[in-house]
Structure 1
């Protein structure tokens, strides 16, 4: 059983909320990890990626950019998140996202990007990269692994992330705290009302960041325990 309990202290830049966190993990090995194209240690060279975003006919903004990676030297998951505060942050969060992805590729030597049903997230971030003339191509820098697609290959059926977490005995902190629909409404208000973020309760900001962080941390636990959990249920 993996309980996703996460400290929610975070700081703020001049333009966007920036939060970084380190989470200790135990007994990580490649024995039960997903075997992706013959590579059972891809998780060591991977980032785990999830966006919260707002779309109205076309992508409007990234509300939260969330990524983590496994530092095998320290045996920690290192999480980075960016969250907008108003519409002026829309381009800034895209720039920060590009810088993060470049750093992961060049400095941390990561060459895989792992998602769960990530096509929508890729569509949003690529659209916004192009809209704001930001030169970065995810496909050039990373090989993509979609855990939903990998599950479908082995089980011949589709599954949602929350149901997959149950299969892996992953328990979320405050499991029923927020929904994707409520997130979209929140980011819509942030974009339309510059002062909305200042009226938003701190607890709500915390819940949004927790929701996103648990998504990316969950992907890591699913990936490294893939064989043990998936094949025991086939």
Structure 2
């Protein structure tokens, strides 16, 4: 198992820009930012990378934890590590929310695998889910992918985007060949971990800069709708 922990200093943010949830601005301080890389073939097969981070207000930094499997046996071990991580974050760090992007897919995978492997833990019994894709759709009225949302927030990635299908192929090989990870170049392992890390860090950045970008999008949407209303009114007058 590859276990990777990293601390990332946070740039200044303003509370007025932070996404408000349940009437509260400080929810992000009690939240985990969560993303999985996984392999699904008809049904969930394994978690390839578990990635999660949280904000440490005292140190003004993000603490990132990642687990990546190196063989089939560890596809079970990663579930135990995920359970212990969530338990520790809930009891010791007092986290109560999980922030994702289109997280229903990740929850479907991890919940299925936890139940299948008799790991007694239900994440939703302890954490409330905040899905940034759904939050954006509720406000703007259209669907959007994470990479396009990152562009709106001027988030630049250090690594190239890796497609979900390529990641799935990688972890398919890991599950079938116990020596595959030993032959994989370290550069590729680092690239996968960095990609996942940037996914969870992006969630935090989007969350704390939410109003700065989404409010502008909302204003633009309202202007476009106002133009359509004016055009429709003129057309109705013309047809009378």
TM-score, length-scaled by structure 2 = 0.89
Structure 1: which 5+ runs fail to align? 1-15
Instruction: Using CA pairs under 8 Å that are at least 6 residues apart, name the structure with larger relative contact order, 1 or 2.
Output: 1
Alignment of 1:166-177 (within 5 A): 166-176=151-161
Residue 77, structure 1, aligned to residue 62, structure 2:
yes
**Which deviates more from structure 2 when the two are superposed, residues 31-40 or residues 117-126?**
31-40
State the partner residue of 1:186.
Answer: 170
Per the TM alignment, residue 29 of structure 1 is displaced from its structure 2 partner at its CA by 3.8
Per the TM alignment, residue 30 of structure 1 is displaced from its structure 2 partner at its CA by 2.2
Distance 1:26 1:210 in 2: 19
More helix by share: 2
Distance 1:207 1:26 in 2: 24
3-state secondary structure, aligned to 1:44: helix
State the partner residue of 1:149.
Answer: 134
Structure 2: which 5+ runs fail to align? 219-240
Distance 2:148 2:128 in 1: 25
Distance 2:105 2:84 in 1: 21
Per the TM alignment, residue 27 of structure 1 is displaced from its structure 2 partner at its CA by 1.4
**Runs of 4+ residues deviating >4 angstroms:** none
State the partner residue of 2:92.
Answer: 107
Distance 1:67 1:50 in 2: 6
Q: CA RMSD in A?
A: 0.8
How many residues get paired? Answer: 218
Distance 2:153 2:135 in 1: 15
State the partner residue of 2:213.
Answer: 229
Distance 1:143 1:89 in 2: 28
Residue 161, structure 1, aligned to residue 146, structure 2:
yes
Q: Which has the larger radius of gyration?
A: 2
Residue 93, structure 1, aligned to residue 78, structure 2:
yes
1:125 equivalent among 97, 110, 117: 110
Per the TM alignment, residue 56 of structure 1 is displaced from its structure 2 partner at its CA by 1.0
